[in-house]
Structure 1
Amino acid sequence: MFDKLPVSAKTERILSKSLDEAISVEEANHLMNIRGHDLYPLLATADYLRSEIAGDNVTFINNCNINFTNICTVRCGFCAFGKDADDPEAYVLNDDEILTKAEGAVERGAHEFCVMGGVLPDADIEYYEHMLQLLKGQYPDVMIHGFSPTMIADACTLSGIDVAEGCQRLKDAGLDTLPGTAAEILTDRSRELICPEKVSVAEWIGIVKTAHEVGIPGSATIMYGHVETLAERVEHLDIIRKLQEETHGFTEFIPMTFMHEYSPIFLEGQSNLGATGTEDLKLYAVARLMLRDLIPNIQVSWVKMGFRFAQVSLTAGANDLGGTLGGDELSEASGAPDGVDASIETLSRIVRNLGRNPIERNSKYTEFYPIK
């Protein structure tokens, strides 16, 4: 495959191996550090594996973000969204406001409500159960993708129950899938710098594993390009891989590049300027070579990268384009380059221009809706 390409011997050896089996942590670290002529063979290999594993369909979901509050007791260094309760811009949506957002999304054909927000100081399990029952009572056929491991941990503590009971109650109330949020970078060194008040690596793994065990699948994410090293990105991927080998509960893997412009750690001079374009592409490609069909769906976040570079990233091993979003105040606060709302037509055009097939899906990748 690489006979006529000016690729280094070690890179060629790793890429050739990756056609038949997942690469190791050591091999992934090598690929994260390649430059020059080695880059395009890496991307081509990842794209080839994508076609073998996922075919030429590019999926996405018609969904709506319901960011129910921006009040947050866990103030992360990378987040420009969270507010203190006494901030003039702080808000908490009431039931009518939540249903109004949901109604508009359903009128636009949404298959999913993505319910996220800050960590409220008094949000117990009953609070989240009420929100789920409110939405499911009105729209029983729309899936709910919601809450984070940190929210669940805090809610269980406030309600005096363990995480297993909390997850079961959320599932019974209507929670379909769990977002990969609160993962950020799964190394305690980086977490101490960017989100010391969030759950630890071990706690995050435990909560996600428990959710999978009670029947709540969900996303795996990585938020990168701030204080972490390249090796920590690979360490994070390896943790996700090992957890998936155990539970098979991840429906997708979503790399989310750090949007630095309005983040506290950037404004305080404590962070990098975000990942570069080649770093983005290498992460997508290495993720495909590490995860292969263990997590067959790798998602590009157009809201983080913009439409143009999201399209390019679909040539680096990814096969999913996320969702229409219908508004995402968290990303908007961080400076989303192309806004936080996309139409089916826009996403379909991006996909068709690559010569691939746009397909709508549901949250669990169990139902698909061809687009004319």
Structure 2
Amino acid sequence: MKPLIEDINPKTEDERLASIIDKVISGERINADDGIYLYEHADLALLSQLANLANHRLNGNYILFNKNFHIEPTNLCVFNCKFCSYHKSAGDSESWVLTLEEIKNAARKYINTDVTEVHIVGGVHPKWNIDYYGEMIKAVKEILPHIHVKAYSAIELDFIIRKSKLSYSEGLKRLKDYGLDSIPGGGAEIFAPEVRAKICPEKASGDAWLAIHKAAHENGIQSNATMLYGHIESYKHRVQHMEAIRKLQDETHGFNCFIPLKFRAANNPMGYLGEVNMVEDLRNFAVSRIYMDNIRHLKAYWPMLGIQNTKMAINFGVDDIDGTIDDTTKIYSMAGAEEQKPTMTVERLTQIVREAGGIPAERDSIYNIIKVYD
């Protein structure tokens, strides 16, 4: 896993590729055209070497995980995105709406444990407002006062903040007062309007997603960023998406982690597309690592990829594999992900990292290392 610059052979008859290799070796930022060219022309072995070099400069050989669980308050949603297998309508036998007491009960399971984070996301409930979202955070903190609450995608936030007739900054300040610590990266999908018009025409725009994360960063709320890939988007769309996030990170420095999320085809209207193969997954992780030079961490979400594929991703620039989860999320399992009941012990997580050649390390939610497992 340790990359050596001398192991990377910049000699190639493709002068354009050679110039990009030189940029990566020297630590120079690649541009959008370079990113597209890597997707289209670089072989997998070269991408692995370049991505591992880029990652090693930032993170050494540490591969991170955390101790976390999820609360998904509802899968009712005012939107009906075509890639989504999670959305259900009121009255559907597979729909749910958690009460505040049920949310407290979910938190009570982790009293006297060393879990450090709760991740709260769900559908956009048509009747909930910003203060109810705040009450959910407050309910969790009542039970687990010291837990880090990472909550609510930009899509949820856009809906409830606009409904409350507040600016993004005002809405985020209110949620921060309730106990919000950071926000996840969900809802980004692909920013290109022509793609969004086909896969999620009802939800907030890419510009709105970026504006919410900018407002969060300006109010001291760190966040993550995602990209949904492997459906109808092109390589150009992927690079444009990463460029917009990279540009905002240059301005705010508020993103902790970039998370490519694979489109899963089960139980949704876009299932006819099928899914890209693992070679494409690895290509995407590698180009993401090389391109996102100002976001330190790159995550392979193990419930989405499966354990064996996560091991491979570690050798394509990934330095974070998420956490223990404890079978508390259904978002990807309902879409046919590899892990249908996602739960992981620390022992298994550290084993996965070691088998992939990395040094396992537990992190907190904003990527401070808590413990290294030598």
Pair in the same fold by TM > 0.5 = yes
Instruction: Specify the code of the residue in structure 2 equivalent to 1:351.
Output: V
1:233 is the counterpart of 2:238: yes
Please show how residues 43-122 of structure 1 align to structure 2 within 5 Å: 43-122=48-127
Closer, same or farther in 2 for the Cα pair 1:110/1:13, shift >3 Å?
same
Q: 1:25 corresponds to which residue?
A: 32
**Alignment partner for residue 12 of structure 1, among 11, 18, 22?**
18
Q: What is the DSSP-based 3-state SS (H/G/I as helix, E as strand, rest coil) of the residue aligned with 1:114?
A: strand
1:189-231 Cα distance to aligned partner (Å, 9 max, x none): 1111111111011111111111111111111110111111111
Offset of 1:140 from its aligned partner?
1.6
2:260 aligned residue = 255
CA distance in 2, matches of 1:80, 1:330: 7
1:298 aligns with 2:298: yes
1:341 counterpart SS class: coil
What is the TM-score when the length of structure 2 is the normalising length? 0.93
1:286 aligns with 2:308: no
Q: Tell me, which stretches of 5 or more residues in structure 1 are unaligned?
A: none
Contact 2:54 2:317 in 1 (8 A): yes
- 1:176 CA displacement: 0.8
CA distance in structure 1 between the aligned counterparts of 2:153 and 2:208, rounded to whole angstroms = 12
Supply the distance in 1 between the matched residues of 2:268 and 2:63 (Cα, whole angstroms): 31
Following the alignment from structure 1 to structure 2, what is the Cα–Cα distance between the partners of residues 69 and 142? 21
How far does residue 12 in structure 1 lie from its aligned partner after superposition? 2.6
The equivalent of 1:352 in structure 2 is 354
Q: What's the offset of the Cα at 1:3?
A: 4.2
2:336 matches 1:335: yes
SS at 1:58 equivalent: strand
Say whether 1:307 aligns with 2:282.
no
Give me the whole-angstrom Cα distance separating, in 2, the residues matched to 1:10 and 1:163: 43
Partner Cα separation in structure 1 for residue 10 and residue 33 of structure 2: 26
Percent identity, aligned pairs only? Answer: 33
Task: Give me the whole-angstrom Cα distance separating, in 1, the residues matched to 2:10 and 2:156.
Answer: 52
Residue 3 of structure 2 aligns with which residue?
A: none
- Give the TM-score, by structure 1 length: 0.94
- Give the aligned length: 365
Q: Which moved more, 1:169-178 or 1:93-102?
A: 93-102
Residue 166 of structure 1: aligned partner: 171
* 1:87 shift after superposition: 1.5
Kindly state the Cα deviation for residue 94 of structure 1 after the two structures are TM-superposed: 1.3
Are the counterparts in 2 of residues 22 and 291 from structure 1 also a CA contact under 8 Å?
no
Counterpart Cα distance in 1 of 2:72 and 2:228: 19
Equivalent residue, structure 2, for 1:325: 325
How far the C-alpha of 1:48 sits from its partner, in A, is 1.7
Change in 2 beyond 3 A, CA 1:3/1:288: closer
Q: Distance in 2 between matches of 1:30 and 1:3?
A: 18
Partners of 1:114 and 1:144 within 8 A in 2 = yes
Match of 1:185 among 167, 180, 190: 190
Question: Which of 199, 204, 217 lines up with 2:204 in the alignment?
Answer: 199
Q: Would you say the 8 A contact 2:154–2:186 is kept in 1?
A: yes
| C-alpha contact 1:63 1:105 (8 A) present in aligned 2 | no
Secondary structure of 2:71's counterpart equals strand
